[in-house]
C-alpha cells in the first residue's frame, strides 16, 4: 500500500531543504471526495497531499505548463519541480525527455503505484452511487475500490468503477522515478483494448457510422488538446489559433498560414482534426486518458489513440514512453519494418 504520509514526508523534506520550487500533487478538491491537482510551495501545505483512486489527472500537464511559464519569465526559479506520477504519467515524462522538452534534472519524480488497481471513472461510480453522499474513496484489497458512504464501506470490484484505461493498463507503476511509493505489482490486463476490438470487428460501414456519430458531436472546444501533456506545441498545425495577428501582420503573412481544415465543427473537419491528432500522438500517447475524461461530449477519443498504440506495437514493437533515450517511433525505422501494404 502507498502510505500517503511517506509522500508527504518526502515532499516536506524537498520543500524545506529548498531542493524544489514546488511539488505538484493531488489534494482533496472543493467537491469533497474528488482529488484535484495542486502546486504545493510551502512545507506547511504538504499535509494536504492525498493519494487515492480519485487521483485521475495526469500531472505532467502542469510540468509542461510550468516549463512554458518559465520560458516567459526573465529570471525563472531554476530549481526542479517535484511531481507525483502514476505509471502512465511517468511514461509521459519519458516522452517529454525523449523529445527534449524537459531535462531529467528539471523534475523529481514521486512515483506512485496504482495499488494493482487504477483510478476511478467518476461517471461509472456516479452511476452506482450519488456523489454527495460519498465521504471517502480508498483502495481496498485485490484491486477493489472502497467508497465510504454515510460512514458505511461499500466495496466495488475494479471492473465496475475503474477507468477503462486502468482496466486495460499493463504498466501500473512508474517506469521512471526518483522516489517510489507502494509496491510494483505487474498487472496482467486481460485485454489491452476491448473498445478497439469492438470497432475492428465492425464492418467498414458500421465503423464509419460509429465514428460519424461520435465525431459529429465534437464541438472543437479543444479540451482534449488542452489537457494533453503531449500537445505542448506552440501552435497546433491543424488550427493555428495562437497565430497572433497584429496590425503589422501583412496580408501575405496571413495568406501564408495554411488552413489545413476549417475552424467550424463540420463532420469532415472534425474527422481530419482527430485523425491528425491521432497520428501526431502515435508513439507518444501514453494512454493517460485525460482527453476522453475532459471531453464534454463523451467522444471516445482514446479509441483512436489506442488503435495506433496497438498498431505501433504490432508493426514496430514500439511502446510510447518506455525509454527516454530511444528515438521516437517516427524518427527511426527498421530494415524489417512491414511493407506488405506497399505495391
Q: How far is the CB of 337 from other proteins (least distance, A)?
A: 6
Q: What's the alpha-carbon Rg for the chain, to the nearest Å?
A: 21
Spell out the residues 6+ positions from residue 209 whose beta carbon is closer than 8 angstroms to its own.
Answer: none
Report the 10 Å Cβ neighbour count for 269.
19
User: Within its chain, how far is the Cα of 72 from the centroid?
Assistant: 25
Which residue in 272, 294, 313, 323 binds other proteins (CB under 8 A)? 272
Q: How far is the CB of 332 from other proteins (least distance, A)?
A: 7
Per the CB < 8 A criterion, the answer to whether 165 and 288 are in contact is: yes
Q: Which is nearer to other proteins, 186 or 256 (CB)?
A: 256
Q: Is 222 an interacting residue with respect to other proteins (CB under 8 A)? A: no
In the three-class reduction of DSSP (H, G, I as helix; E, B as strand; rest coil), residue 49 is classed as: strand
Q: Is 65 an interacting residue with respect to other proteins (CB under 8 A)? A: no
Separation of alpha carbons 192 and 321, rounded Å: 17
Which residue in 262, 300, 322, 324 binds other proteins (CB under 8 A)? 262
Q: Is 84 an interacting residue with respect to other proteins (CB under 8 A)? A: no
User: Can you tell me which residue has the cell 464509419?
Assistant: 208
Spell out the residues 6+ positions from residue 162 whose beta carbon is closer than 8 angstroms to its own.
Answer: 53, 117, 118, 119, 120, 121, 124, 143, 145
Per the CB < 8 A criterion, the answer to whether 237 and 225 are in contact is: no
Q: Which is nearer to other proteins, 19 or 226 (CB)?
A: 226
**H-helix or E-strand containing 33?**
strand 32-40
Q: Is 315 an interacting residue with respect to other proteins (CB under 8 A)? A: yes
Which residue in 148, 266, 294, 322 binds other proteins (CB under 8 A)? 266
Region from 78-86, 138-146, 219-227, 264-272 binding other proteins, contact rule CB under 8 A: 264-272
Q: Is 331 an interacting residue with respect to other proteins (CB under 8 A)? A: yes
Q: Is 245 an interacting residue with respect to other proteins (CB under 8 A)? A: no
Spell out the residues 6+ positions from residue 334 whose beta carbon is closer than 8 angstroms to its own.
Answer: 316
Q: How far is the CB of 93 from other proteins (least distance, A)?
A: 15
Region from 9-17, 84-92, 99-107, 134-142 binding other proteins, contact rule CB under 8 A: 99-107
Residues lying near other proteins in the complex (CB under 8 A) are found at: 99-101, 199-200, 204-212, 232-235, 237-238, 256, 258, 260-262, 266, 268-269, 271-272, 275-276, 278-280, 282, 304, 307-308, 311-312, 315-316, 327-333, 335, 337-339, 341-343
Amino acid at each position: 500500500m502507498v502510505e500517503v504520509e511517506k509522500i508527504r514526508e518526502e515532499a516536506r523534506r524537498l520543500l524545506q531543504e529548498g531542493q524544489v520550487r514546488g511539488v505538484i500533487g493531488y489534494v482533496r478538491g472543493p467537491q469533497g471526495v474528488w482529488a484535484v491537482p495542486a502546486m504545493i510551495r510551502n512545507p506547511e501545505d504538504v499535509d494536504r497531499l492525498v493519494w487515492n483512486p480519485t487521483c485521475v489527472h495526469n500531472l505532467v500537464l502542469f510540468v509542461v505548463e510550468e516549463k512554458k511559464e518559465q520560458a516567459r519569465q526573465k529570471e525563472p526559479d531554476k530549481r526542479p519541480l517535484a511531481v507525483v506520477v502514476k505509471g502512465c504519467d511517468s511514461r509521459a515524462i519519458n516522452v517529454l525527455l525523449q523529445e527534449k522538452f524537459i531535462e531529467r534534472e528539471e523534475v523529481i519524480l514521486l512515483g506512485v503505484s496504482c495499488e494493482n488497481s487504477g483510478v476511478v471513472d467518476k461517471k461509472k461510480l456516479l452511476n452506482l452511487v450519488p456523489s454527495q453522499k460519498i465521504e471517502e474513496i480508498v483502495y481496498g484489497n485485490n484491486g477493489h475500490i472502497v467508497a465510504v458512504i454515510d460512514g458505511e464501506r461499500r466495496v466495488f470490484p475494479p471492473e465496475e468503477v475503474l477507468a477503462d484505461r486502468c482496466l486495460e493498463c499493463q504498466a501500473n507503476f512508474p517506469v521512471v522515478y526518483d522516489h517510489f511509493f507502494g509496491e510494483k505489482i505487474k498487472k496482467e490486463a486481460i485485454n489491452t483494448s476491448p473498445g478497439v476490438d469492438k470497432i475492428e470487428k465492425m464492418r467498414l460501414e458500421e465503423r464509419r457510422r460509429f465514428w460519424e456519430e461520435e465525431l459529429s458531436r465534437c464541438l472543437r472546444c479543444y479540451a482534449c488538446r488542452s489537457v494533453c501533456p503531449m500537445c505542448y506545441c506552440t501552435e497546433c498545425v491543424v488550427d493555428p489559433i495562437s497565430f497572433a495577428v497584429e496590425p503589422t501582420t501583412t496580408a501575405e503573412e496571413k495568406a501564408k498560414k495554411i488552413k489545413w481544415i476549417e475552424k467550424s465543427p463540420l463532420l469532415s473537419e472534425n474527422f481530419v482534426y482527430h485523425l491528425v491528432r491521432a497520428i501526431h500522438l502515435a508513439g507518444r500517447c501514453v494512454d493517460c486518458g485525460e482527453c476522453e475524461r475532459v471531453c464534454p461530449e463523451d467522444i471516445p477519443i482514446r479509441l483512436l489513440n489506442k488503435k495506433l498504440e496497438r498498431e505501433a506495437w504490432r508493426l514496430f514493437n514500439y511502446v510510447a514512453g518506455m525509454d527516454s533515450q530511444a528515438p521516437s517511433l517516427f524518427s527511426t525505422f527498421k530494415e524489417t519494418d512491414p511493407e506488405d501494404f506497399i505495391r
